[in-house]
Amino acid sequence: MLEPLIQNNVVCHALEAMIFASIACSILGVIISRMNLSSIGFTMSHAAFAGAAIGMFLERNAQVAAVVFSMAVAALIGPVSDKAKMAADATLGVLFAMSMAVAIFLISYMEYMGKGLSASALLFGDVISLYREEIYALAAVCCLTIVFVLAFYKEVSAIMFNMKIAEAAGVRVKLVYYMLLFIVALSVALSLNIVGGLLIFVLLVTPASIANQFCFNLKSMFIAAPLVALSVSAIGVWAGFEFTLPIVPLVALLLTGVFALSVMLSFKRRISKKRY
């Protein structure tokens, strides 16, 4: 998509992938960090990891298996929390452990059987060798995320405010909540082997936290978080190729640096010394 602007195909694909992953994850991050669901990043990336392991074990396409398995896990979060009367966060913990166990079990088993599996690509991503289809899929998820937030802005803001009050107002809380989980699952599963589990978690949490330091209302958070994520990712991709540095950890470090800076500069934390 950016080919006319950037001559080098590898750089171009890396930049596109990072931009789409940044936008999708940081928008979703604004919602889930407000709802104390940040650990969904952990859970879903490990679910995708387990799915990929299952795919390899069954000698099927690992990427497709990752998407399918993480959808299944996402579909479980809501109902399991409802049934078990647990906070969604606890359910996420249980499902995280389950996914991890499945993945490790299968990987150890495959090693034992002499079949190798490169797990490091899933954990740390690989933005250098991408297929065109992977970028299209990420672009689609990015659009889906934006359309979801625009179409259900009212419902999303009500459940971010207070689930119980939203439900009492007659908002279709469950429906929107389950759609949200579904989209998060899709984004994480598709971003996983591109940006890796680590950066997904950073992209879900950090841009939203940066926006939260400066924004008083939700609209500005939904704009600021993806802008920050996108700019930092672009800088990271450029610096990575320019100085031959590993792009993904670099972007994670840069975002964390921006976060530290924003906490120091935040005017929300300033205490007035006025006497009148």
Partner 1 sequence: MSVIDLLGIYTAYEGGDKPVIKDLSLSVDRGEYVVIGGPNSAGKTTLLESINGLVKITHGSATVCGLDVARFADTVRTRVGYVIQNFYFDPFTPFTVEQVVMMGRFGRLGLMNRPARADYDAVQRAIALVGIEDLAHKSIGTLSGGQQQKAMIAHNIAKEPEVMMLDEPFSNLDFHAREYLQGVLKELVRTGIPILMVAHAFDGLPDIRIRLVVMNGGKITYDRDCTAGEVDGIIRKECKVNGKC
Q: Which of 175, 260, 261, 265 binds partner 1 (CB under 8 A)?
A: 175
- 171 contacts partner 1 (rule: CB under 8 A): yes
- 134 contacts partner 1 (rule: CB under 8 A): no
Distance, CA of 264 to CA of 266 (rounded, Å): 6
Tell me how far, at minimum, the Cβ of 29 lies from partner 1, in Å. 14
Tell me how far, at minimum, the Cβ of 167 lies from partner 1, in Å. 7
- 170 contacts partner 1 (rule: CB under 8 A): yes
- Long-range interactions of 50-55: CB distance < 8 A, separation 24+: 50/99, 50/100, 50/102, 50/103, 50/106, 51/189, 52/103, 52/122, 52/192, 52/193, 53/102, 53/103, 53/106, 53/107, 53/110, 53/117, 54/102, 54/106
Nearer to partner 1, 72 or 168 (CB): 168
- Long-range interactions of 68-71: CB distance < 8 A, separation 24+: 69/99, 70/44, 70/185, 70/186, 70/188, 70/189, 71/182, 71/185, 71/186, 71/189
Which of 176, 167, 212, 174 has its CA nearest to residue 29?
Answer: 212
Nearer to partner 1, 152 or 201 (CB): 152
Nearer to partner 1, 7 or 217 (CB): 217
Residues between 33 and 72 that touch partner 1 (CB under 8 A): 34
Q: Which of 49, 148, 152, 182 binds partner 1 (CB under 8 A)?
A: 152
- 172 contacts partner 1 (rule: CB under 8 A): yes
**Quick one: which H or E segment has residue 198?**
helix 173-214
Tell me how far, at minimum, the Cβ of 142 lies from partner 1, in Å. 21
Nearer to partner 1, 116 or 170 (CB): 170
How many of the other CB atoms lie within 10 Å of CB of 231?
Answer: 15
Q: Which of 157, 187, 191, 233 binds partner 1 (CB under 8 A)?
A: 157
List of residues contacting partner 1 (CB under 8 A) = 34, 85, 151-152, 154-155, 157-158, 160-162, 164-172, 175, 212, 215-218, 221, 268
